[in-house]
Amino acid sequence: MSLIVLCAGGHARVVIEALLSSGIRPAGIADRDVARIGSAIGGVKVTGSDDDVMKMAVDEVELANGLGNRASRKDSGLSDRRALFDRFDVLGFKFPVIAHASAVIASDAQLGDGAQVMAGAVIQPAARIGRNVLVNTRAVVEHDCIVGDHAHVAPGAVLCGGVSIGESVHVGAGAVVLVGVKVGAGAVVAAGAVVTKDVAAGGFAGNE
């Protein structure tokens, strides 16, 4: 079965490297901008558009979400990444778990469809990682954490034991969420923040 990376952006480059580290070479990249067809990222060519992928048989191709996000104080920026995943998921396309060869994943950790664990990341025992979640470079998800669907734990962020992260939450680069803290759906944790108490859904934690 071949694998196609969706979206020819910066995050796609990281996804491709993670795949290559595990001996998987994508068959191509699809992007909604047809002008990018024929270009290449990480040695993998943009071979078609999203519409071209939708014409493929769902039992002959797997997909990887190559769309990243850019959070702001008021918005996790994850809606487009989620929408791209949902667009193909509802049609029956499969998104395998992608883990860089250097990532450390506990034997009993649970990872949902399309979860991505990048270089140097660590996921500890009894952690539960939702669908389409991105655990980015050198991030740490400690024991018994729950990370909801479509969330992003950015590079170098640390979730201490028993943390609960809601759907579509952005935990910024280098942030630390302390033991047992709950972060509600759609919330944003700023880069470098130290979160000591619960964060409401849609809320913000960090410097004003």
Statement: residue 193 has pLDDT above 60: yes
CATH number of the domain located at residue range(s) 2-67 in this protein: 3.40.50.20
Tell me the per-residue pLDDT of 80-96, one tens digit each, with 9 for 90 and over: 999 999 999 999 999 99
Tell me the per-residue pLDDT of 35-68, one tens digit each, with 9 for 90 and over: 999 999 999 999 999 999 999 999 999 999 999 9
To the question of pTM greater than 0.85 for the whole model, the response is yes
- pLDDT category of residue 208 using cuts at 50, 70 and 90: low
CB 143 within 8 A of CB 128: no
Out of 20-29, 33-42, 72-81, 188-197, least confident range: 33-42
Active site residues: 143
CATH number of the domain located at residue range(s) 97-208 in this protein: 2.160.10.10
DSSP string covering the chain:
-EEEEE--SHHHHHHHHHHHHTT---SEEE-S-GGGTT-EETTEEEEE-HHHHHTS-TTTEEEEE-------SS--S-HHHHHHHHHHHTTT-B---EE-TT-EE-TT-EE-TT-EE-TT-EE-TT-EE-TT-EE-TT-EE-TT-EE-TT-EE-TT-EE-TT-EE-TT-EE-TT-EE-TT-EE-TT-EE-TT-EE-S-B-TT-EES--
What does the domain layout of the chain look like in residue ranges? 2-67, 97-208
- Closest among 131, 170, 130 to 154, alpha carbons compared: 170
Q: What pLDDT does 207 receive? A: 76
